[in-house]
């Protein structure tokens, strides 16, 4: 018999409903967690170590029986550190019914994704997004991070520039992005508030431009004794290279976006002497040592940027899910805020706003081709 169009339409919808409800029941036996960040593109070196860290932590927990008997399943999505891609990534993860997301990596992308996660109240814990408003504005109650915010970083860099290096005239440059400009604006306000130095230049550069000759000439003409740069390593290495080639040997101080081995690799000899702030070096602790060794054993390479922070974020998140005995966002958030957990960053907790308690930044300098902590 020929089924009329109406009947077949109804049948189709009914089938679809049956299949979709079948899918739901299988999710109960596992805990689905998303890992989002830059896994390709020029900032992949910031995002891939996080994937490795979460994988290692999840494997260890799963091998010991999982959380409350449930296995952890990771959904790994790439956002290329681009805000417009991050919204798609976030939508995809929400559709995959994740209970929490470890990520994103870049502040701009994280902010874009949080808009989506907020609607579903999914917990988002980032190992590297440092833009202060993410926690300080109060707009994102489900956001946590295992890295200190940029104002702490900027204050450290500015104090180092004015006190340790005694710079009186500083040029503050940024890359016009959420992260770089945010950091630079904090640096500028701290310098002006401190009264020990003046900001002789405050400008943004365009990432990906053919060269930065104009801004370098401008820095020279401004009489700056040092530069504070907010942004990522590709532009930083271009500026440092062109500056040093011109014979301008000014101290160059930057943020954790530049404290990356790729910076040293690309800038080569011109990277010598560059300062960058980054998370305090806690790698001597037993947990951190174990994490570093695990990475070396499994992947055969150095761990990379934010690995320690991501490892801590994963430990904190899974601990919270365990202690809360639930995958409801509100319960996980409450557990994160009330529990103290031993991690690669030391024993940490989270405050009302989502910032981690017990961590901080430190200044590093490139010496003999490696970043060395400046005491």
Partner 1 sequence: MTPELHLRYIGGIMQLDLFIGLLLGGLAKGSIYALIALGYTMVYGIVQLINFAHGEIYMIGAFTALIVSTVISYTMPGTNMYVNLLLSLLAAIAVASAFAYTMEKIAYKPLRNAARLSVLISAIGVSIFLQNLVLVLQTPDFLPYPALLPEIKALEPFRNVISSSQFIIILTTVVVMVLLTILIKFTRIGKAMRATSQDKTMAQLIGINVNRIISITFLIGAATASLGGVMISANTGQMNYYIGFLAGIKAFVAAVLGGIGSIPGAVLGSLVLGLTESFGSGYISSDYEDAFAFIFLIIILIFKPEGILGKSENQKV
Q: How far is the CB of 246 from partner 1 (least distance, A)?
A: 6
- CB nearer to partner 1: give 1 or 210: 210
> Taking the alpha carbons of 113, 115, 120, 122 in that order, is the dihedral positive or negative?
positive
- CB nearer to partner 1: give 245 or 340: 245
- CB nearer to partner 1: give 8 or 40: 40
Q: Minimal CA–CA distance to 337: which of 53, 153, 141?
A: 141
The encoded tokens of residue 333 equal 């958030």
CB 124 within 8 A of CB 110: yes
Using left for φ > 0, alpha for ψ between -120 and 50, and beta otherwise, residue 292 falls in alpha
Distance (Å) of CA 288 to CA 73, 314, 347, 365, 374: 24, 13, 12, 22, 20
- CB nearer to partner 1: give 231 or 354: 231
Q: How far is the CB of 208 from partner 1 (least distance, A)?
A: 5
Contact positions vs partner 1 (CB under 8 A) = 40-42, 44-45, 176, 203-206, 208-211, 213-215, 217-218, 220-221, 223, 233-234, 237-238, 241-242, 245-247, 262, 265-268, 270
Which position has the token pair 């490139």?
A: 366
- CB nearer to partner 1: give 256 or 260: 260
Q: How far is the CB of 262 from partner 1 (least distance, A)?
A: 7
Q: How far is the CB of 265 from partner 1 (least distance, A)?
A: 6
Q: How far is the CB of 110 from partner 1 (least distance, A)?
A: 20
Distance spanning both ends of the chain, measured CA to CA: 84
Neighbours of 119 (CB within 10 A): 10
Q: How far is the CB of 300 from partner 1 (least distance, A)?
A: 18
- CB nearer to partner 1: give 260 or 355: 260
Q: What is the C-alpha to C-alpha distance for residues 31 and 11, in angstroms, rounded to an integer?
A: 33
């Amino acid at each position: 018999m020929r089924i009329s169009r109406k009947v077949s339409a109804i049948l189709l919808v009914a089938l679809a409903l049956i299949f979709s409800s079948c899918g739901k029941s299988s999710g109960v036996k596992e805990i689905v967690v998303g890992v989002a960040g830059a896994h390709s593109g020029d900032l992949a070196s910031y995002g891939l170590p996080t994937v490795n860290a979460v994988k290692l932590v999840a494997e260890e927990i799963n091998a010991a029986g999982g959380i409350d008997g449930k296995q952890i399943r990771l959904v790994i999505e790439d956002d290329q550190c681009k805000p417009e891609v991050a919204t798609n990534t976030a939508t995809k993860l929400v559709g995959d019914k994740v209970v929490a997301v470890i990520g994103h990596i870049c502040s701009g992308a994280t902010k874009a994704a949080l808009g989506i996660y907020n609607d579903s109240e999914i917990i988002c814990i980032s190992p590297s997004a440092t833009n202060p408003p993410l926690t300080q504005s109060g707009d994102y109650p489900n956001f946590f991070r295992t890295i200190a915010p940029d104002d702490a970083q900027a204050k450290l860099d500015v104090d180092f520039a004015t006190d340790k290096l005694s710079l009186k005239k500083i040029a503050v440059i940024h890359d016009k992005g959420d992260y770089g400009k945010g950091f630079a604006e904090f640096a500028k306000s701290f310098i002006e508030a401190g009264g020990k130095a003046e900001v002789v230049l405050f400008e943004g550069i365009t990432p990906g431009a053919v060269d930065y000759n104009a801004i370098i000439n401008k820095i020279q003409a401004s009489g700056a004794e040092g530069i504070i740069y907010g942004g990522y390593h590709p532009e930083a290495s271009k500026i440092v290279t062109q500056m040093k080639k011109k014979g301008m040997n000014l101290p160059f101080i930057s943020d954790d976006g530049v404290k990356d081995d790729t910076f040293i690799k690309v800038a080569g000899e011109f990277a010598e002497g560059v300062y960058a702030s980054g998370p305090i070096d806690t790698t001597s602790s037993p947990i951190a040592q174990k994490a570093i060794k695990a990475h070396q054993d499994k992947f055969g390479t150095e761990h990379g940027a934010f690995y320690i922070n991501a490892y801590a974020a994963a430990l904190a998140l899974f601990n919270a899910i365990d202690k809360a005995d639930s995958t409801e966002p509100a319960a996980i958030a409450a557990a994160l805020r009330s529990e103290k957990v031993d991690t690669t960053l030391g024993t940490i907790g989270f405050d009302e706003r989502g910032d981690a308690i017990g961590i901080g930044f430190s200044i590093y300098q490139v010496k003999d081709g490696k970043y060395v902590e400046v005491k």
